[in-house]
Structure 1
Amino acid sequence: MYVNLTPKQMVRLNLALAMLFICIGVYSLQSDSLPISSFTGFIFAIGFMVQAYRSTEKFAAKTALSKTLTATGSSLTVKQVYYGDKEATLELSRITQLKVADNYLAVILDGNGQGYDFQIKGKAEAITNRLNEILPKELLKNSPIKQV
């Protein structure tokens, strides 16, 4: 089921669920009547707090494709902020293949099957559109973007 909520509503929902599971964890520390352990309640609470952060507008702005995929005249810069802050700058002349999927970009260098895998936030179509916007047309002729 897809929930169509605004980012503020998602933050509030996730924080409310986190508070509920914190209460369940504290209650299960006090009582043995619950079938779940207090550890489980606290783990779920942490998960909902992380999801609340990932639902914020600040995180969405930080992981926007316009900020994670940029290109200059001779290089492509990919900032991977979805699973940690990592940045890689790749020479456009070395790129031989681009593979795109939902939340994923693979860049193969020098035609040898080796390259980089990036976890970036976005649907495959949005990532493909962004790459088509920023990469030179001659590069896209020689190494087309493949969706996997």
Structure 2
Amino acid sequence: PSDSGGCVCPPGTHVDIAGTCVGLVVLLPSLLVPLTVMAALGLGLAIARRLAPKESADWLIDEAALVFPAQPDILGGGDAGMVLRATYRGTAVAVRVFTPMEPGDDSHDHFSGGGVGSGSRRSPSPRGSFSSARSALSRRSLSV
């Protein structure tokens, strides 16, 4: 005990906390273990967030940011619609313009044969016509 009646802690091995001598062997682990666990959890959450798939951020675009040339450049087409060249935020992109299907119309049924890569029912000219591209753009069913 000190002259004032308090506890005198041995130097280098104990610390006075609120009038009580606490050994460094107890104090350091009681501080470092929770801090290490919290840091590891925070780092783990940050990594998980970064690696998580960005579902809507990659696919939801502002349609007004798509810039089409005055005369559409048709890159290709098929039963479901056509693919046009456009610019999105300064980058050249391909935009698929879907042709609306009528109820009961089975001409777009890709499960009954044909489909991508089979070569069946391909339009004779992949560049298409200006009027068909303009009408497809007016319907505005787009996929980038």
Q: By the TM > 0.5 criterion, same fold? A: no
TM-score normalised to structure 2 length: 0.24
**More helix by proportion, 1 or 2?**
1
TM-score normalised to structure 1 length: 0.24
Which has more radius of gyration?
2
